[in-house]
Amino acid sequence: MLNEKRVILMTRLASYEEGEGRKNISIGNYFRGDYLTLQILKSIVCSTISFFIVFGMYILYNFETFMQDLYKMDLIAFAQSVLKYYCITVVAYAVIVYVVGTVRYVHAKKNLQRYYKNLKVLKSLYQSGESGEGEA
Amino acid sequence: MTKLLEIREKVKEIYSRYETFFIPLVKFVLALVVFSRLNGALGYMARLDSTPLVLILSLMCSFLPTGCMVLFAAVISLLHMYALGWEVALVGLCLYVVMFLMFFRLSNREAALVLITPLLCAMKIPYIVPIAAGLLCAPTSFIPVACGLAVYYWFQVIGNSASTLGTMGDDALSRLRFIIDGLVQNKALIVVVAAFSITILVVYLIRRLSIDFAWTIAMVVGAIVNVFVLLIGDLKFDINISIWGALGGSLLALAVAKVIEFFRFCVDYSRTEQVQFEDDEYYYYVKAVPKMTVAAPEKTVKKINAKNLRTRERSPLEVFSGKTGSGSKTGRRGSRTMTIGSVGEAYEDSYDPYEEESYGETYGDEAYQDEYVSRRRDTYADESYGDETYDETYDELYDEDDYDEDGEE
């Protein structure tokens, strides 16, 4: 006999697995610390590439000025200022990624808890169905 | 209102029935419009501005993920920029890479917003974007909207600079500086990005509040905030934003937002229930607002058979299998009506709950509608795991006492 509750639950589970669940399951495979570390590492790589792209554009933009002042300017002070901006960019971006990652992880874990709970309910529905049929 | 609700149900039913074809069609049309507008706005590489190529790319986009559409649009625009000058393409490439690495990767779910935002800006109706995004998307959707705005203003810079670049000769550094100046010193971009981002966040925060008419308040406040920030930006930076245009656009945006609300969040606040209960660990203060729904009108064709007094309509499955159906269950959950018809033990094995078909079953004087499978997506869309509405239905269906509460395995 078709079990209404079972069908509803299976549909809900399948819908979750097809959509958001896929991503949540991949997040759920990590411990919180590992997930956030990975995200921060990625963010450092991305922000470093982005910073050097922007820095390259800045150099190109001021290329003539640099060429003129290259022997006059304090290169160490210039390098220090570049490093300072680089650190600010990377740290600020890592903090944003950390916050976003934490929210995502908590959200994914919460959803996965419900998902696993529903799987358990589905299992119990199957078991009760089988025992009912066995008794009959 | 009842008529409108009936129309809504009908539209939902049609959408869920033809969803398989509808989504690729929408993606195809979106891609077609985006690529055509892109060729129209830039159009420096004549070879790309051909209808067959646009059609082929749009067809590909209709079955590929939305991210691919963004990628194709980026590649087409870069090729146009390259035709204008390698300096322009270089700046464009840097802009796209930085946007992708820094922003877009944080909010890639709303990839379509990157395309829709510049498209609506080009159509002079951009004010719909922040209100609709605030109502429908996550708060991080301000990132793709900001990226879309940056792309739109970048295209404007290219369009305005094209003639000047042609007369600047071969001095690559001057051309590069001229292009970068156009982008960096564009105050309108900063003001519009700030206005749209603030609007999205305000709309999102208000519509999540547990107050009556939260969506309506959110869209009205959002529209006011948007115009207000644009006004301040206009006064501060003198960017010549048309205030009447902003007001008219905001009114249009409100109209569109009301339509969105009607389809997405149509509730009856007059029947709001405030309930309070407790368990061993918590007190619960629950506010339940029923949705406004009506059953879609159905046409039932009865066959009168002289030999059999009971009139019965056979389902396609029955006709196919030659078996008879019996029994059905009807469940009503909250304001949502979900009718599940059992097709009987006789052909239970042939029933596939995931098959996207529906069939009507009339038995005696009662008409049962098995629309569960065909409507499962829209019925459960509101009950996604990220949505709080899930809990009420879950608890209603499954008595908590019956099951183990351990949660995660």
pLDDT, tens only, B76-88: 999 999 988 888 8
Residue B213 confidence (pLDDT): 85
B98 interaction partners in chain A (CB closer than 8 Å): 50, 53-54
Local structure of residue B398 (DSSP, 8 states): S
Q: Identify from B20, B97, B101, B376 which residue to disrupt to test chain A contact, counting A C-beta atoms within 10 A and taking the largest count.
A: B101
| Touching B: A residues 27-56, CB under 8 Å | 46-47, 49-50, 53-54, 56
Is A87 within a domain? yes
B131, B141, B145 from B225: Cα distances, Å = 11, 17, 17
Task: Please check whether residue B280 lies inside any domain of the structure.
Answer: no
Quote the CA–CA distance of B211 and B213 in Å, as a whole number: 6
Q: Does B5 score more than 70 pLDDT? A: yes
Residue B361: beta bridge partners?
Answer: B368
Query: Cα distance from B230 to chain A (closest Cα, Å)?
Result: 26
Query: Domain range for residue B376?
Result: 300-409
Band of the pLDDT at A1, cuts 50, 70, 90? low
For residue B250, is pLDDT > 60? yes
- B283 lies in a domain? no
Tell me the pLDDT tens digit for each residue of A80-105: 999 999 999 999 999 999 998 998 89
Region B180-184 average pLDDT: 86
Same domain flag for B42 and B145: no
Residue B173 and residue A62: Cα distance in Å, rounded?
A: 9
CA-based nearest distance A7→chain B, Å? 7
pLDDT at B166: 76
Average pLDDT, chain A: 86
Residues 104-133 of A with CB under 8 A from B: 107, 111-121, 124
Instruction: Determine, for residues B409 and A116 on separate chains, whether the beta-carbon distance falls below 8 Å.
Output: yes
- Determine the residue among B102, B183, B394 to mutate to test chain A binding: the one whose Cβ has the most chain A Cβ atoms within 10 Å: B102
User: CA B295, CA B5: separation in Å to the nearest integer?
Assistant: 9
State whether B137 and B206 are in the same domain. Answer: yes
Residue B97: inside a domain? no
Taking the Cβ of residue A20 and every Cβ of chain B, the question of whether any pair is shorter than 8 Å is answered with yes
- Share the mean pLDDT of chain B: 75
**Are B141 and B244 contained in the same domain?**
yes
pLDDT confidence of residue B312: 52
In a domain, B291, yes or no: no
Q: Tell me how many domains chain A contains.
A: 1
Of chain A, the end-to-end C-alpha distance in Å amounts to 13
My answer on whether B200 and B306 are in the same domain is: no
Alpha helices in A19-74 (DSSP H): 20-28, 32-61, 63-69
Q: Rounded to whole angstroms, how far apart are CA atoms B207 and B230?
A: 22
Q: Is pLDDT above 70 for B373?
A: no
Shared domain for B126 and B210, answered yes or no, is yes
B94 Cβ under 8 Å from any chain A Cβ: yes
Quick check: B380 and A12 CB within 8 A? yes
In a domain, B279, yes or no: no
pLDDT exceeds 80 at position B371: no
Q: Which residue has better confidence, B336 or A12?
A: A12
More confident call, B362 vs B157: B157
Q: Is residue B381's pLDDT more than 50?
A: no
Q: Are residues B115 and B252 in the same domain?
A: yes
pLDDT for the residue B384: 43
Q: Could you report the per-residue pLDDT of B201-229, keeping only the tens digit for each? A: 999 999 888 888 888 999 999 999 999 99
B107 touches B144 (CB < 8 A): yes
Residue B174 confidence (pLDDT) above 80: yes
Q: What is the pLDDT of residues A44-83, one digit of tens each?
A: 999 999 999 999 999 988 888 888 888 888 889 989 999 9
Tokens of B73: 């649009």
* Surface of B (316-355) touching A: CB under 8 A: 329, 331, 340, 342-343, 345, 348, 351, 353-354
Q: Does residue A26 lie within any of the structural domains?
A: no
Residues of chain B contacting A61 with CB distance shorter than 8 Å: 176-177, 180
Please report whether residue A112 resides in a domain: yes
Is-contact B268 B289, C-beta < 8 A?
yes
| B306 and B395 co-located in one domain | yes
Two tokens at B214?
Answer: 């939260």
Structure-block tokens of residue B33: 């419009």
* Residue pair B79/B197 in contact by the 8 Å Cβ criterion: no
Q: Is residue B294 in some structural domain?
A: no
Q: What pLDDT score does B217 carry?
A: 92
Res B393: pLDDT:
42
Domain-embedded: residue A59: yes
The closest CB to that of A5, out of B91, B353, B397, belongs to B397
Question: For the segment B314-337, what is each residue's pLDDT rounded down to a tens digit?
Answer: 555 554 444 444 433 333 333 333
On whether residue B17 sits in a domain, the answer given is yes
Long-range Cβ contacts of B360-367 (<8 Å, 24+ apart):
B360/B298, B360/B300, B360/B313, B360/B315, B361/B313, B361/B315, B361/B325, B361/B328, B362/B300, B362/B302, B362/B311, B362/B312, B362/B313, B363/B310, B363/B312, B363/B325, B363/B326, B363/B328, B364/B310, B364/B311, B364/B312, B367/B298, B367/B300
Report pLDDT digits (tens) over B278-308: 777 778 787 788 787 776 666 677 778 765 5
Looking at the structure, tell me whether residues B173 and B209 fall in a common domain.
yes
Domain that holds residue A59: 32-125
Other C-beta atoms closer than 10 Å to the C-beta of B53 total 14
CB contact under 8 A, A46 and B91: no
